[in-house]
Amino acid sequence: MTALPSIEEFIASSPSSYHAAENIAAILNTAGFTRQDETDTWQATPGGHYMVRGGALMAWWVPENASPATSGFRIIGSHTDSPGLKLKPTISFDKEGFHQAPVEIYGGPILASWLDRELQLAGQIIDADGNRRLVATGPVLRVPHLAIHLYRQDELKLERQQHMQPIYGLVESPELATLLDGVRTHDLITADTQPPRAFGIKNEFLAAGRLDNLSSVYPSLEALLDVVADSNATSSIKDVLVLAAFDHEEIGSSSRYGAAGPILEDVLKRTAYALGAGEDDLYAMFARSSCISADAAHSVHPNFASKHDPNTHPVLGAGPVLKVNANQRYASDARSNDIWLRASEKAGVAVQQFVGNNDVPCGSTIGPITATRLGILTVDVGIPLLSMHSAREMCAYSDLKDFTEVLAAYYTLD
C-alpha cells in the first residue's frame, strides 16, 4: 500500500490548486498509476491512470472485468481551489513609500481573516520561453489592519479594492518580479504560511488553510488508494472508479478544468470508448453511474447557532454530513441519498445531515453542475467545518477518518 503524506503535510505542500493537482499526481505515480497525455491514445487497460489539466486532476481505475455492457462509473468529485487574493498581471505598484502587490478577490473569502497574516504567493508561472513551473514564494506579503486608534470601534468596513492590497517591501527594496524569476504570465494566489496544526484539549481539531476543499481531496485520494490496494475489495468491482479533483469551484466552475467545463465528460467518454463502447453503450454506462460530490459542510457555530436549522445542524466530530437543499443547490435526492446511507452503514459510520435555515442563504457545489451536465445520479456530502472561507479553517480529525471510510465503502458497494 502506498504511504500517503499526512494531511498536514499534504495541505502545507499544496498552497495552490496547481500544487495540489501535481501532489496528487506524484502520489498516484508512486502507487503505480500511469499519467495520461491528452494528445495520446487513451488508456483504459486494467489498473490506474490519471491526467492533469491546469489545477485539476482526473484519475480512473479500471477493473479487470470492465465492460461497456455491464460497467458504470463511480465518481468522487472534489475541488482543489480555495478563496484568496489573486495577483493581477501588473504584479507591483508603489504607494506612500511601500511596494504593494495588486490583487483581485478570488471567490468569497472572509476578508478580515486575511489581515495581519504572513502570506505567500503560490501557483503557476510561464517564462519568456513558454516553460511552465510551479512556485511558492514563502512569506513575502502582508495586508496590515488599520490601528484601532484611527477609527471608531465597528466603524471600519473593508473595501475590496482599497483595503486588501498587500505590502511586500519598501520602495528601495527589490520588486516582486525579481522573486518570480523570468515570469511572463502567471496564475498566483495568496496562501497563509502558518503551517497546519492540531489543537484543542485533546488535539482533536485541525487548524489549516484550504480545508475547503482539501478536506475532501485528501480523503478521496486515500479512499481510492486503499480500495485499489486491496485485492479482496477489487475482485468484485465491475465499475470504473473515478477521482475528479476540479479547479475553479469557488468562482462558479466555468473553465476548461472546472466542473462546468468538459474535463470530466472528456475522461468518462474517452475511457468508455477505449473500452469499446458505442454511443448507446456510453449513455447506458452513464445511467449505471453515480457521483459523490465531496465538499465541506457548515458545522453549527455555538456563538451563532440561530444561523442554522434547529433540527438539522451538523457538529464537528460527529461524522460526515449529507447535504440536502429543496432548491437543488445540492444535488442530493432520495435515490442518491440512499447510496450515501448504504455506504455509511457498510463503513459503520454515523451520518449527520445539513439542511439550511430558511432565512439564511445556502451555498452550492460541483454536485448540481455535474448532475446537470451529465445526468449522473449525484449526492452532496462533506465533513463539517468552522470558519469556512477564512484564511484558516478548522475541522475534527475524527471526521476526516470517518469520511475516508465511507468514501472507500462507496467505491466497493454491491
Q: DSSP code of 386?
A: B
Q: DSSP code of 277?
A: -
* 144-153 pLDDT per residue, tens: 999 999 988 7
CATH 2.30.250.10 assigned to 84-194: yes
Helix or strand (DSSP H, E) at 137 = none
C-alpha cell at 413: 458497494
Rounded to whole angstroms, the Cα distance separating 104 from 161 reads 8
Rounded to whole angstroms, the Cα distance separating 250 from 81 reads 7
Rounded to whole angstroms, the Cα distance separating 230 from 84 reads 39
* 70-87 pLDDT per residue, tens: 999 999 999 999 999 999
Please state, as a whole number, how many other Cβ atoms lie within 10 Å of the Cβ of residue 231: 7
Going by C-alpha positions, the residue among 288, 242, 246 that lies closest to residue 268 is 242
- CATH fold of 7-82+209-412, please? Aminopeptidase (3.40.630)
User: Tell me, what amino acid is at 371?
Assistant: A
Rounded to whole angstroms, the Cα distance separating 250 from 267 reads 22
- What residue spans define the domains of the chain? 7-82+209-412, 84-194
Q: DSSP code of 369?
A: H
Rounded to whole angstroms, the Cα distance separating 81 from 75 reads 19
* 348 burial type by CB count under 10 A (0-12 exposed, 13-18 middle, 19+ buried): exposed
Tell me the pLDDT of the chain (414 aa) as tens digits. 678 999 999 999 999 999 999 999 999 999 999 999 999 999 999 999 999 999 999 999 999 999 999 999 999 999 999 999 999 999 999 999 999 999 999 999 999 999 999 999 999 999 999 999 999 999 999 999 999 999 887 778 999 999 999 999 999 999 999 999 889 999 999 999 999 999 999 999 999 999 999 999 999 999 999 999 998 888 899 999 999 999 999 999 999 999 999 999 999 999 999 999 999 999 999 999 999 999 999 999 999 999 999 998 999 999 999 999 999 999 999 999 999 999 999 999 999 999 999 999 888 999 999 999 999 999 999 999 999 999 999 999 999 999 999 999 999 998
Q: What pLDDT score does 57 carry?
A: 98
Task: Transcribe 6-62 into DSSP letters.
Answer: PHHHHHHT-SSHHHHHHHHHHHHHHTT-EEPPTTSPPP-SSEEEEEEETTEEEEEEE
List Cα–Cα distances, 9 to 6, 15, 72, 213, in angstroms: 5, 11, 34, 15
Q: What pLDDT score does 290 carry?
A: 98
Rounded to whole angstroms, the Cα distance separating 264 from 370 reads 9
pTM here? 0.96
Residue for grid cell 471608531: 152
